[in-house]
Amino acid sequence: GTNPMDANSRLEVSGFRCQGGKDFVVQWSSVGSKFYSIDSSTNLSLGFPFNVISNIPATPSVNSHTVDVHQVKQQYFRVRVE
C-alpha cells in the first residue's frame, strides 16, 4: 500500500533469500490493483539505473519475484510501486 493518509500503509520488503547459488528471491507486501517494479544497481552512488522487471501485478498480501544474480558479485535491489 501507499496511502499517505494511513500510517500503516507502506511498501515493505518482507523477505529475501539466495536460492541455488544463482537466484535471489525477494518478497514484499502488496495490495490489490497495484503494479510493482524491481530495479537494481551495483553501485548505490549511481542510484538504481537498471530495471529488472516491471508491471508485476499485485498478489495480495505478499508478492515475490526471483532474480538471476549468478554473474554479479555485488548487487542491490529496490522494489517500487508503479
**pLDDT tens digits for the chain (82 residues)?**
678 888 888 889 999 998 887 899 999 999 889 999 999 999 999 999 999 999 999 999 999 999 988 777 789 999 999 9
pLDDT score, position 79: 96
Q: pTM, whole model, 2 decimals?
A: 0.88
In whole angstroms, give the CA distance from residue 17 to residue 73.
Answer: 15
Report the 10 Å Cβ neighbour count for 24: 20
pLDDT of residue 70: 73
Is 64 buried (19+), middle (13-18) or exposed (0-12) by CB count in 10 A?
middle
Q: Measured at the alpha carbon of residue 54, what is the angle toward residues 53 and 57, in degrees to the nearest 5?
A: 115
**Are 9 and 2 spatial neighbours (Cβ–Cβ below 8 Å)?**
yes
- pLDDT for position 1: 60
